[in-house]
Amino acid sequence: MKKLAIIAAAILTLSSCSALSKINWNEAQLAQAATTALTAASISDAQVIALSQKTVAELDAQNKLASETYQQRLGRLLADIPDVEGLKINYKVYETNEVNAFACGDGSIRVYSGLMDVMDDSELMAIIGHECGHVVHQDTKKAMRSAYLAAAAREAIGAAGGTIGALSNSVLGDIGESFISSQYSQKQEFEADEYGYKFSTEHGFSPYSMCNALEKLVRLAGSSQSSIVQKMFASHPDSAERAKRMRAKADATQGK
């Protein structure tokens, strides 16, 4: 029983899903969940990409696409960016007032119309670059594995013979929500900010694009609109400090 308790603790530590703490485990469930979780943790990079593709397809089915005006604006910004360091990108805009965006390890970029409403083109490019940075640095693969692990620990996925192709739409939807709400470390966020800075400046935008976007998020979080940026701030901690770092970098670039 002690061994099972240790395994259960490991599952809860690895998983980013707070709902797990509310599950009442018995010994049989612990054994099954532990076996399933270990299977989930060992999936390959190719399987993570396949899982990302299926998860994003389910999120696309669940979310209404924004009007053509949004799609065209995003398409114009990304027209000359067919790939990110060899990863072919595809993009869509979801219609929602939430301020958020995410990118997956299969090259999918999804932007919320609420984010596009509050960001100018340069700020939007910096945010997209930031999300691409998480892909380039493998953060999204780790986050997708954790989301899969959380589903496995809830016994949503069978340990014996289960395949990504056999996952139900509801499980894929749960994995997608867990992935979007993934928590990244401060180090991961700093590195993604650096990539967002590089991404936006290399495509002709101001060195201040990244810091302006972060400063705008900080202002929104402190305003009556705070609820619409809640998800983005849940996964992007210390935004004020990050904005300060990016402004200092931009100032140094400009010789100030």
**Angle at 218 (CA atoms; ends 215, 219), nearest 5 degrees:** 90
Within the chain, strands assigned E span: 83-84, 87-88, 90-94, 101-103, 108-112
CA distance 221 to 236: 12
In the numeric block, which tokens belong to residue 228? Answer: 């619409």
* Count of Cβ atoms closer than 10 Å to residue 83 Cβ: 9
**Enzyme catalytic residues:** 131
3-state class (DSSP) for residue 88: strand
Q: What is the CA radius of gyration of the chain?
A: 19
